């Protein structure tokens, strides 16, 4: 995968990737800057800086600006390496945007914090030249399109259009640095329902359901990975390949539930993720979910687990998105009487990550939606599992609550995977019992009420921006 570095800068301690080796910077002869605050909340905000080179081409550029208020800090950035010293912020390019041709622009985004006021930064300079918006000499070449990328492949699959994904701010973004939403289905436990995942069912999921994503739920206990590590790893890799062949993203779910403490499986997680990340590092369609539903433990414990597992993945696959489970069965702590603030105030020390949220529509209603609606402006979220029924996986479909949830996720472009693409004898299953003995995975004859409802939502046209 093409390497992308996004720095989590902790300004107070001066942590940041500020070694600007690589090509020497060249002089700039004119530039302009557009600065936009895209969202703001108490004590924090998300902003974008677009710097346009109005002079000669530059390589190895460096953009600096100053904060007017001592309380303003950069917390996390993307599309550049950011660091802060005192009130001065420095943004340096990553590999894929190192050169700025005449008329070309670089979009740098970041999340910041502030106390008191939050005035616009000043003294923007590109390679030491103040960006006044003036042109010191006439452009010698026409400006390229922004961003300078090729058109999407003709096949039009989710992976074909979006390519390698990355986290930018609170969104999941595609190769064009535009926010997208992935919609798909989760398998049930591979130890019980492996017959449901075959050529016919995956063809149906990609072509008839028009899903963007297959989440592979690999249970660790309950007859899962711990009983046959090699065998279950092979099953996961096979489903990654099947999803890739159909242009779908593949989420690898390390499905921990009982016990709820993820550190119980820490060594297994390191072994498993080292194996699958090494094997799948060259693929553009893989997302790693490192702990399904932590429960009975603190956020500090989950954070510690994540900060030990993520480096194992990054050592083999530095670019893939990683999703971290949250407290209270991945409810952002709501099911434990907490909320997203504990994560906002103490985020995982890693980049290119998202946080998991799970809901079951008949059990988790307005109070949970209120938290997600608020948290979506502060954290990158992915609903890696949800059901249209109760949290037991059974009971009647709550169509009104399910619709309210999916409308909310659509508004915030939060991706989701429904539980489950299986013929389990429970209300959350997409198929009626016995369906996986046949070859029909799409018609009304085999779909449950939940399956028909979710298929109708997933199969609507995607809106993947490419410019």
The residues carrying an active-site annotation are: 293, 385
Residue 464 CA, chain-centre distance (Å), reads: 15
Q: Note the maximum CA span of the chain.
A: 72
**8 Å CB contact between 65 and 123:** yes
Instruction: Give the Cα separation of 100 and 62 in Å (integer).
Output: 11
Q: Which residue has the tokens 């049930």?
A: 188
Cβ distance 127 to 26 under 8 Å?
Answer: yes
Give how far Cα 41 sits from Cα of 114, 198, 369, 430, Å.
10, 46, 18, 39
C-alpha 259/C-alpha 305 separation (Å) is: 14
Could you tell me if 432 and 422 are in contact, meaning their C-beta atoms sit under 8 angstroms apart?
no
> Which pairing describes strands 249-255 and 286-289: parallel, antiparallel, or unpaired?
parallel
- Of 388, 387, 389, 321, the C-alpha closest to 355 is 321
DSSP bridge pairs for 44: 41, 113
Q: Omega of the bond prior to 411 within 30 degrees of 0, cis? A: no
CA angle centred on 227, ends 224 and 229, rounded to 5°: 85
């Amino acid at each position: 995968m093409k390497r992308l570095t996004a720095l989590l800068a902790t300004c107070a301690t001066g942590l940041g990737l500020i070694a600007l080796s690589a090509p020497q910077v060249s002089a700039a002869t004119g530039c302009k800057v557009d600065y936009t605050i895209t969202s703001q909340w108490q004590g924090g905000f998300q902003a974008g800086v677009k710097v346009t080179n109005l002079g000669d081409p530059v390589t190895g550029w460096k953009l600096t600006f100053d904060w007017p208020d001592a309380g303003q800090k950069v917390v996390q950035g993307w599309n550049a390496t950011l660091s802060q010293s005192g009130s001065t912020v420095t943004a340096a390019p990553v590999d894929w945007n190192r050169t700025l041709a005449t008329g070309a622009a670089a979009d740098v985004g970041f999340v910041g914090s502030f106390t008191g006021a939050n005035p616009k930064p000043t003294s923007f300079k590109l390679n030491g030249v103040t960006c006044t918006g003036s042109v010191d000499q006439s452009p010698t070449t026409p400006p390229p399109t922004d961003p300078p990328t090729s058109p999407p492949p003709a096949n039009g699959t989710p992976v074909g259009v979006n390519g390698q994904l990355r986290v930018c701010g609170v969104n999941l973004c595609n190769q064009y640095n535009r926010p997208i939403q992935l919609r798909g289905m989760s398998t049930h436990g591979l130890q019980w329902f492996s017959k449901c995942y075959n050529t016919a069912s995956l063809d149906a999921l990609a072509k008839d359901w028009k899903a963007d994503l297959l989440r592979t739920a690999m249970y660790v206990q309950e007859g899962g990975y711990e009983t046959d590590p090699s065998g279950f790893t092979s099953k996961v890799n096979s489903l990654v390949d099947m999803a890739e062949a159909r242009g779908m993203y593949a989420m690898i779910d390390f499905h921990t539930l009982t016990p709820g403490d993820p550190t119980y499986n820490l060594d297994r997680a390191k072994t498993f993720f080292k194996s699958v990340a090494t094997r799948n590092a060259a693929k553009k369609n893989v997302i790693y979910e490192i702990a399904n539903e932590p429960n009975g433990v603190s956020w500090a414990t989950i954070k510690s687990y994540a900060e030990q597992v993520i480096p194992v993945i990054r050592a083999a696959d530095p670019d893939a998105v990683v999703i971290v489970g949250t407290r209270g069965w991945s409810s952002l702590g709501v099911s434990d009487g907490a909320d997203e603030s504990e994560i906002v105030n103490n985020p995982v020390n890693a980049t290119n990550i998202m946080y998991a949220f799970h809901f079951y529509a008949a059990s988790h209603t307005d109070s949970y939606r209120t938290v997600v609606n608020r948290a979506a402006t502060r954290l990158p979220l992915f609903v890696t599992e949800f059901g249209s029924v109760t949290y037991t996986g059974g009971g009647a479909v709550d169509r009104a609550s399910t619709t309210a949830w999916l409308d909310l996720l659509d508004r915030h472009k939060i991706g989701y995977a429904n539980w489950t693409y299986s013929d389990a004898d429970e209300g959350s299953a997409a198929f009626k019992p016995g369906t996986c003995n046949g070859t029909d995975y799409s018609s009304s004859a085999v779909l449950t009420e939940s399956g028909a409802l979710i298929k109708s939502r997933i199969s609507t046209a995607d809106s993947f921006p490419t410019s």
